[in-house]
């Protein structure tokens, strides 16, 4: 059920996904959703966010570990994101962002869940950048920039049905990282 719901929320959003649709996609009896998730769709969405968020970060993290050189790893990760998004016909981007944009002003429980997931991503990315940029503040700033660029580029890429925004975001975070690394070398 979590996998089916996650897939539907990612593609259709929270409001665009019905409980019957989730049950059908999961090939489960309709009542089983309320058996396992007495809080209904909201509880199911909260669980999906808290489960898929860390899974997605592990995927991003594995791409960042593709090279011991941060500039190469970032370039690879953004190029791979553009390729993967194109391969899904621009429908499977970040599993959290679709829900986050939709519920930020309307559902405090789900807003908090997405905020916590994003905070975990920032912490993970700051630790990764911290391996190359010793200044913790600068590492965190790069982490926030990378995640902001990635999420914004996913949205623009989906709207334009083009990988260009992801590639441009990748070039931008690579350049910011180069600058940070060269400034660290001088300090």
pLDDT value at position 98? 86
What does the pLDDT look like over 126-181, one tens digit per residue? 999 999 999 999 999 999 999 999 999 999 999 999 999 999 999 999 999 999 99
Domains and CATH numbers, the chain: 50-186 (1.10.357.10)
For 152, phi then psi, to 5°, come to -65, -40
The residue that leads in pLDDT, 185 or 128, is 128
Average pLDDT of 94-119? 93
CA nearest to 17, candidates 56, 36, 44: 44
How many CB atoms sit inside 10 A of residue 67's CB?
Answer: 14
How many CB atoms sit inside 10 A of residue 56's CB?
Answer: 18
Q: Is 11 exposed, middle or buried (0-12, 13-18, 19+ CB in 10 A)?
A: middle
Contact between residue 152 and residue 169 where contact means Cβ atoms under 8 Å apart: yes
Q: Is 79 exposed, middle or buried (0-12, 13-18, 19+ CB in 10 A)?
A: middle
Stated pTM of the model:
0.90
pLDDT value at position 30? 86
């Amino acid at each position: 059920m979590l996998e089916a719901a996650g897939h539907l929320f990612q593609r259709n959003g929270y409001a665009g996904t019905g409980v019957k649709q989730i049950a059908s996609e999961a090939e489960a009896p309709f009542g089983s959703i309320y058996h396992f998730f007495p809080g209904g769709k909201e509880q199911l969405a909260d669980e999906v966010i808290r489960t898929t968020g860390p899974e997605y970060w592990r995927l991003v993290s594995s791409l960042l570990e593709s090279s011991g050189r941060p500039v190469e790893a970032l370039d690879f990760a953004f190029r791979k994101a553009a390729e993967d998004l194109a391969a899904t016909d621009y429908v499977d981007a970040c599993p959290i962002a679709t829900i986050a944009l939709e519920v930020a002003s309307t559902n405090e429980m789900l807003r908090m869940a997405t905020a916590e997931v994003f905070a975990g991503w920032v912490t993970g990315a700051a630790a990764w950048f911290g391996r190359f940029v010793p200044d913790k503040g600068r590492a965190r700033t790069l982490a926030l920039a990378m995640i902001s660029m990635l999420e914004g580029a996913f949205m623009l890429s989906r709207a334009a049905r083009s990988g260009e925004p992801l590639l441009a975001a990748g070039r931008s975070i690579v350049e910011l990282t180069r600058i940070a690394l060269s400034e660290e070398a001088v300090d």
